[in-house]
C-alpha cells in the first residue's frame, strides 16, 4: 500500500480482528434472539476501523517518500484485497444464519424454563427417505413420551434424522417440565441446543474454519511471492534460474499479449522496455502489476542498468520459450517484480544460468521500488469505502428485519464488496488508458490486434 504508516496497519488489524470476533460469536451463539448487540458491536468496531483506514488512505500522497521495502508491495496489496473479498461472503452468511436461526417455538420453551432430556421412540408410524448421498435424511412420524411434572404425555410427531429411526431408539426432546402448553421439540441434542443459543455444530465450525484457512493461505501466497529476491537461491539450487544483464530504455503502458496463462487478456499493464547488454541486442519487455504507477517509475528507471533474473514458464503454451516470471534488480539495489517477455514473439529468452562467480543480490540490502501513486491510493480508497458500506448494511440485520430482509441485506453487502473491488480495478485501468494515450512512441505503444 502507498500509505505505509503504522496507524494504517493498526486500523486494518483492528478491522480484521473485529471480523474474526464476528465470525467467532456467530459460531458460538448462532441462534440468540435479535437484537444481536454482540454481533452489532463487533461490526461497528470494524466500521470504525474501515473509516479510519479510508481517512489515512485519502491523505495527500506527496511527502510520503517512496515507501520502499524488502517485499514487492504489489503482491502484498493484492493479497489483502483478495483476502477481504473472499472472506466477506463467509462473514455475511454467518451473521445472516445467526439472525435467521432462532426458532420462536424453542424460545417459548426456553422462557418457560426449558430442559433437554432423552426419550425413547415408542413406535415408528411412518418413514420416508429424502435426499441422496451425504444429504440423505429420513422424514419420519414417531410416537414419543415427554415427562412433564404433571405427568408423562405421549405425542405423535415428525422427526428428521440422518438414519432411519427404530423402535426403542433414543432421541432428545426440548420441553418446559412445568409448562406443557409451551410445546416441545424433538431431534438431535446438538440441534436442540443450537436452537436456544448453543454453539454451532462441529460440521459448520469445521467447514467455516477450512474456508477461512484456505483464504488465509491464499493471502500468504501473496506474501510469499512478495519476496522474489529471497527466492533466487532456491532457483539456483533447482537449476531453474536464468540471468541476463540489461539496460532500461523506457517505461510505458501496453496490453500483455502473452500472459502467464493461455487465457486471452485485454488488461493494460505498465511495461518496462529493456535491452540486453551482453552483446546480442535482444529487446525485452517487463510487465508489472497494473497497480504500479508508470509515470514516476519512468523517471526512476530511465537509463538504469541491472540484472534480470527469471524462471521459464512451466505451462504448455505456444510462447513458453519467449516468456518467464522474473525480477529486475538494478545496480543501485532497487528491484521490481513482474513478467518477462521478448519484444519479438519469435525470439527466445537466453538460457544463461548464473555462474559460480555470480553473486546473487542480498535480500537484506535490496529494496522494492514503490513510487508514490495517487491512483493506488484512490483504488484502495474505493475498496475500503465499499467495505465500510457493507458493514453497516450487514449490521442492520442484527436488529431483526425478517427472513426476506435479512437475506436481501446479506446479499447486498456481498455485492457491494465485489463491486468495490471491480470499480477499483476499473479505476486503475482508466488511469493506464490515459497513460497509454499520452505516451511517446519511443517508450511503448498499445497494440490492440
CA distance 14 to 141: 50
pLDDT for the residue numbered 2: 46
CA distance 116 to 173: 6
* Burial class of residue 239 in the structure, from the number of CB atoms within 10 Å of its CB (0-12 exposed, 13-18 middle, 19+ buried): exposed
| DSSP assigned state of 350 | -
Q: Residue 178's closest CA among 148, 136, 222, 208?
A: 148
CA distance 338 to 248: 14
pLDDT for the residue numbered 104: 85
CA distance 117 to 173: 6
Q: Are 247 and 323 contacting, i.e. CB atoms less than 8 angstroms apart?
A: no
DSSP result, 103-170? -HHHHHHHHTT-EEEEEEEEEEEEEEEES-GGG-EEEEEEEEEEEETTEEEEEEEEEEESS---TT-E
pLDDT for the residue numbered 263: 57
Angle between helices 402-438 and 294-301 (to 10 degrees): 40
pLDDT for the residue numbered 3: 47
Q: Are 86 and 240 contacting, i.e. CB atoms less than 8 angstroms apart?
A: no
CA distance 109 to 194: 14
CA distance 308 to 335: 10
pLDDT for the residue numbered 65: 46
Query: Which H or E run contains 334?
Result: strand 334-342
What residue ranges in 182-322 does DSSP mark as E strands?
A: 184-187, 241-255, 268-276, 283-287, 305-312
Rounded to a whole number of angstroms, the CA Rg of the chain reads: 30
CA distance 436 to 448: 12
CA distance 353 to 370: 28
Give the C-alpha distances (Å, rounded to integers) separating 371 from 63, 68, 75, 191, 260. 12, 8, 15, 55, 25
Joined together, the cell numbers standing for residue 168 give: 426403542
Give the C-alpha distances (Å, rounded to integers) separating 196 from 101, 314, 429, 431. 9, 55, 51, 54
Helices in 281-367 by DSSP H: which ranges? Answer: 294-301
Tell me the whole-structure pTM to 2 decimals. Answer: 0.82
CA distance 58 to 200: 40
Helices in 277-401 by DSSP H: which ranges? Answer: 294-301, 374-396
Q: Residue 39's closest CA among 123, 95, 106?
A: 95
Q: Are 126 and 156 contacting, i.e. CB atoms less than 8 angstroms apart?
A: no
Q: Residue 342's closest CA among 271, 251, 442?
A: 271
CA distance 278 to 352: 11
Q: Are 289 and 429 contacting, i.e. CB atoms less than 8 angstroms apart?
A: no
Residues in Cβ contact with 406 at an 8 Å cutoff, skipping those fewer than 6 apart: 96, 99, 100, 397
Q: Residue 67's closest CA among 296, 228, 221?
A: 296
pLDDT for the residue numbered 60: 53
Give the three-state DSSP class for 38: helix
The residue length of the chain stands at: 449
Q: pLDDT by residue for the chain (449 residues), tens digit each?
A: 444 467 888 998 999 999 999 999 999 988 888 899 999 999 999 999 999 999 888 765 544 445 667 889 899 889 889 999 999 999 999 999 998 888 888 888 888 888 889 888 888 888 888 877 667 788 888 899 888 888 888 888 888 887 888 888 888 899 998 888 888 888 888 888 888 888 888 888 999 999 999 888 888 777 777 889 988 988 888 888 999 999 999 999 988 777 666 555 668 899 999 999 887 778 999 999 999 999 888 888 888 999 999 988 766 677 778 888 899 999 999 999 999 999 888 888 888 888 766 889 998 889 999 888 888 889 999 999 999 999 999 999 999 898 999 999 999 999 999 999 999 999 999 989 887 776 653 444 333 33
Amino acid at each position: 500500500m502507498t500509505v505505509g504508516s503504522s496507524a494504517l496497519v493498526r486500523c486494518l488489524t483492528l478491522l480484521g480482528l473485529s471480523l474474526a470476533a464476528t465470525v467467532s460469536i456467530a459460531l458460538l451463539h448462532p441462534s440468540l434472539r435479535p437484537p444481536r448487540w454482540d454481533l452489532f458491536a463487533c461490526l461497528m468496531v470494524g466500521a470504525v476501523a474501515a473509516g479510519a483506514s479510508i481517512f489515512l488512505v485519502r491523505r495527500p500522497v506527496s511527502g510520503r517518500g517512496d515507501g520502499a521495502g524488502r517485499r514487492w508491495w504489489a503482491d502484498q496489496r493484492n493479497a489483502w484485497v483478495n483476502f477481504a473479498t473472499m472472506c466477506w461472503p463467509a462473514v455475511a452468511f454467518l451473521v445472516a444464519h445467526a439472525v435467521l436461526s432462532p426458532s420462536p417455538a424453542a424460545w417459548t420453551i426456553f422462557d418457560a424454563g426449558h430442559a433437554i432430556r432423552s426419550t425413547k421412540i415408542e413406535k415408528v408410524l411412518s418413514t420416508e427417505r429424502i435426499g441422496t448421498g451425504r444429504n440423505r435424511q429420513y422424514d419420519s412420524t414417531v410416537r414419543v413420551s415427554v415427562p412433564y411434572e404433571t405427568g408423562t404425555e405421549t405425542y405423535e410427531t415428525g422427526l428428521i434424522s440422518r438414519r432411519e429411526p427404530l423402535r426403542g431408539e433414543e432421541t432428545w426432546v426440548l420441553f418446559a417440565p412445568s409448562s406443557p402448553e409451551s410445546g416441545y421439540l424433538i431431534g438431535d441434542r446438538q440441534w436442540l441446543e443450537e436452537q436456544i443459543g448453543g454453539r454451532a455444530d462441529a460440521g459448520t465450525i469445521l467447514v467455516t474454519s477450512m474456508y477461512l484457512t484456505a483464504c488465509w493461505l491464499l493471502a500468504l501466497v501473496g506474501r510469499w511471492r512478495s519476496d522474489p529476491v529471497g527466492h533466487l537461491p532456491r532457483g539456483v539450487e533447482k537449476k531453474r534460474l536464468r540471468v541476463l544483464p540489461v539496460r532500461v530504455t523506457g517505461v510505458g503502458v501496453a496490453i500483455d499479449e502473452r500472459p502467464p496463462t493461455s487465457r486471452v487478456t485485454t488488461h493494460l499493464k505498465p511495461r518496462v522496455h529493456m535491452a540486453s547488454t551482453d552483446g546480442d541486442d535482444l529487446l525485452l519487455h517487463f510487465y508489472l502489476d497494473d497497480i504500479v504507477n508508470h509515470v514516476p517509475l519512468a523517471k526512476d528507471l530511465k537509463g538504469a542498468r541491472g540484472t534480470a533474473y527469471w524462471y521459464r514458464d512451466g505451462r504448455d503454451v505456444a510462447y513458453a520459450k519467449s516468456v518467464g516470471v522474473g525480477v529486475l534488480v538494478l545496480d543501485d539495489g532497487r528491484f521490481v517484480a513482474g513478467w518477462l517477455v521478448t519484444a519479438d514473439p519469435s525470439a527466445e529468452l537466453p538460457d544463461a544460468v548464473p555462474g559460480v562467480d555470480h553473486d546473487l543480490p542480498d535480500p537484506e540490502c535490496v529494496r522494492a521500488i514503490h513510487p508514490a501513486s495517487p491512483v493506488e491510493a484512490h483504488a484502495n480508497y474505493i475498496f475500503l469505502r465499499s467495505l465500510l458500506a457493507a458493514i453497516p448494511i450487514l449490521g442492520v440485520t442484527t436488529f431483526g428485519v425478517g427472513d426476506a430482509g435479512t437475506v436481501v441485506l446479506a446479499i447486498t453487502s456481498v455485492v457491494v464488496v465485489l463491486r468495490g473491488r471491480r470499480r477499483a480495478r476499473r479505476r486503475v485501468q482508466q488511469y493506464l488508458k490515459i497513460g497509454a494515450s499520452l505516451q511517446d512512441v519511443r517508450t511503448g505503444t498499445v497494440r490492440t490486434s
